[in-house]
């Protein structure tokens, strides 16, 4: 699968950059997310890096004929109308596994928003694992993993670091790129 994925990426003009973030226990944020193609290209990149990722998606995706395939590819259904204790649930998954990578598109949508959802940051803090910044850049046709950090006590400082990293990465639909700043917390019903 690794060879086929790399061949397909190369055929379509994509460069896959490799970076080894170390032990395979981290939250992988993937941005900018502005198109359905991001999932396809991102999945090929994960296969090309031999990276087994888990990802969260709206539960309706898993109710379709593709549901079993999405689960096989690491999908975890999330009921957005009842987010509950998702941060604690994901932290518990990390605790039980020696090898667990959770990929999240922090925008939570392909549309423009004035913030990123901060659930990825809270999951990483609760699980005591680093955040690895992965990117897709349609301007350079490059996809890969970059810097990582262990979330600090101050979310603002971490988001400054994230904003710097993604400042030169462009999505397929640039007008849909979201502002990189944390969402204001509204209490325990906060969605990821």
pLDDT per residue as tens digits for the range 156-169:
999 999 999 999 99
pLDDT digit string, tens, across residues 49-58: 988 999 888 8
Other beta carbons within 10 Å of 55? 21
- The per-residue pLDDT for 54 is 93
- 189 part of a folded domain: no
Between CA 146 and CA 135 the distance in angstroms is 8
Of 30-34, 143-147, 179-183, the range with the lowest mean pLDDT is: 179-183
- The per-residue pLDDT for 167 is 93
State the pTM of this model: 0.86
Top-confidence residue, 178 or 132: 132
- The per-residue pLDDT for 127 is 94
- Domain enclosing residue 27, as ranges: 2-176
- The per-residue pLDDT for 82 is 65
Sign of CA dihedral 112, 128, 162, 143: negative
Name the domain count of the chain: 1
Whether 135 and 169 have beta carbons less than 8 Å apart is answered as yes
- 191 part of a folded domain: no
Sheet with 100-104, strands from edge to edge, namely 15-17, 142-149, 131-137, 25-31, 100-104, 54-58, 75-78
Helices 2-11 and 37-48 pack at an angle, to 10 degrees, of 130
- 103 part of a folded domain: yes
Pick the closest to residue 123 from 74, 56, 70 (CA basis): 56
- The per-residue pLDDT for 121 is 92
Tokens of 31: 């941005």
**Average pLDDT of span 131-151:** 93
- 190 part of a folded domain: no
**Average pLDDT of span 140-148:** 92
């Amino acid at each position: 699968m690794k060879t086929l994925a790399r061949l397909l990426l190369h055929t379509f003009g994509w460069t896959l950059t490799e970076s080894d973030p170390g032990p395979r226990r981290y939250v992988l944020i993937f941005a900018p997310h502005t198109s359905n193609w991001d999932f396809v290209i991102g999945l090929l990149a994960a296969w090309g890096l031999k990276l087994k990722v888990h990802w969260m998606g709206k539960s309706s995706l898993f109710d379709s004929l593709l549901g079993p395939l999405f689960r096989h590819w690491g999908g975890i259904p999330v009921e957005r109308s009842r987010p509950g204790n998702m941060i604690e649930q994901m932290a518990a998954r990390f605790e039980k596994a020696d090898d667990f990578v959770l990929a999240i598109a922090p925008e939570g949508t392909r549309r423009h928003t004035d913030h990123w959802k901060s659930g990825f940051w809270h999951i990483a803090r609760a699980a005591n694992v680093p955040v690895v910044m992965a990117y897709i850049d349609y301007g350079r046709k490059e996809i890969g993993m970059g810097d990582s950090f262990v979330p600090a006590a101050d979310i603002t400082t971490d988001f400054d670091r994230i904003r710097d990293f993604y400042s030169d990465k462009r999505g397929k639909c640039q007008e849909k790129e979201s502002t990189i700043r944390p969402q204001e917390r509204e209490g325990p019903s906060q969605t990821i």
